Amino acid sequence: MGNTSKAAKIYLVLIFVILYAPIFYLIFYSFNSGGTMNEFDSFTWEHYTAVFSDTRLIMILINTVIVALLSALISTAIGVLGSLGIVYIRNKSLRNSILSLNNVLIVSPDVVIGASFLILFTMVGVKLGFASVLISHIAFSIPIVVLMVLPKLQEMNSSLIDAAADLGATRRDILRRVIIPFIKPGIFAGFFMALTYSLDDFAVTFFVTGNGFSTLSVEIYSMARAGITLTINALSGIIFIVTLFLVVGYYFISQRGGKNLTGMGIRK
């Protein structure tokens, strides 16, 4: 950073202001007693108490988090195994076609995925609810995880594995002690990507929620029909602050461990 020019710094600051301004604007008005986002009347906590007194909203929030965590975890596991499989396919054209199929799923519109899942679930007779939402979130997260893990596997030098084998490592040892540690940044990046995708997905989730199970994106969408109430601002504020604390906390833990787990940093 030492030799960055002044213009570059200003540019960076500007970008961050643009990125964060809407969020802070929203949080600012969550303290407005006026009830609208037009002008600031006076300070109040009432919108925050409204969030906490609405049990249904809290349950929906918890549902959202559970689905995000579980689907990210499961899709990461499946995605990592999948990428291992893809990398060790010898036949080049087969490997490329599998990769293309993976990419097709990433670029397919959510609405198409959601509608297909709705039809599939009702045909098979799965009741819409927690399971259907979880399954579809896992499904659309796997291709993303694969895309995050695969480059790490491909840049791994195969002589590392040969060396390990020469030194007497079993296949299991190679996987546990050589391959997985090497691709760890990719695994974590995949996990967090899947987590974010699951948290903010609306279109797919909309089709497969039912029987009282709903997630935040779906709920806020139908709430917004009657105009954005400041309860939504307060809720968004809470989520933003919690996320901020998690990221900061994670940063300090990984600093103390002296390792970079996120995969966003530089590989040593």
Partner 1 sequence: MKEIVRAAVAIIVVCIVLFITNDYLGKSANNAGSDTVTVFNWGEYIDPELINQFEEETGYRVVYETFDSNEAMMTKIEQGGTSYDIAVPSEYAIEKMKENDLLLPIDPSKLPNLKNVDPYFLDLPFDPKNEFSIPYFWGTVGIVYNPSLLEGQTFESWDNLWDPSLEGKVLLVDGAREVIGMGLNSLGYSLNSTDENELQSSLEKLQSLTPNVKAIIGDEVTQLMVNEEAAVALTWSGQAADMMWENEELDYSVPEEGSNLWFDNMVIPKTSANVDGAHAFINFMLDAEVAAQNADYVGYSTPNTAAMEIMDEEVIADERFYPTEEARDNLEVYKNLGLEMLGHYNELFLKFKMGDN
- Alpha helices for 130-263 (secondary structure H): 130-155, 158-166, 171-173, 180-200, 203-208, 216-223, 230-256
CB of 190 closer than 8 Å to CB of 145: yes
Q: Looking at beta carbons only, is 27 or 174 nearer to partner 1?
A: 174
Closest contact distance (angstroms) between CB of 5 and partner 1 is 38
* Residue type (1 letter), 39: E
Q: Which is nearer to partner 1, 86 or 230 (CB)?
A: 230
**Closest distance to partner 1 from the beta carbon of 70 (Å):** 6
Q: Which residues bind partner 1 (CB under 8 A)?
A: 35-38, 54-56, 58-59, 62-63, 65-66, 69-70, 72-73, 77, 118-119, 121-122, 125-128, 132, 176-177, 180-181, 184, 187-188, 191, 206, 209-212, 214, 218-219, 221-229, 261
Conformation bin of residue 263: beta by default, left when phi > 0, alpha when psi is -120 to 50? left
Q: How far is the CB of 3 from partner 1 (least distance, A)?
A: 35
Residues 244, 239: Cα–Cα separation, whole Å: 9
Query: 98 or 261: whose CB is closer to partner 1?
Result: 261
Q: Closest CB to partner 1 among 139 and 210?
A: 210
Rounded to whole angstroms, the Cα distance separating 71 from 134 reads 6
CB of 6 to partner 1, least distance (A): 38
Which among 186, 184, 167 has a CA at the least distance from the CA of 176? Answer: 184
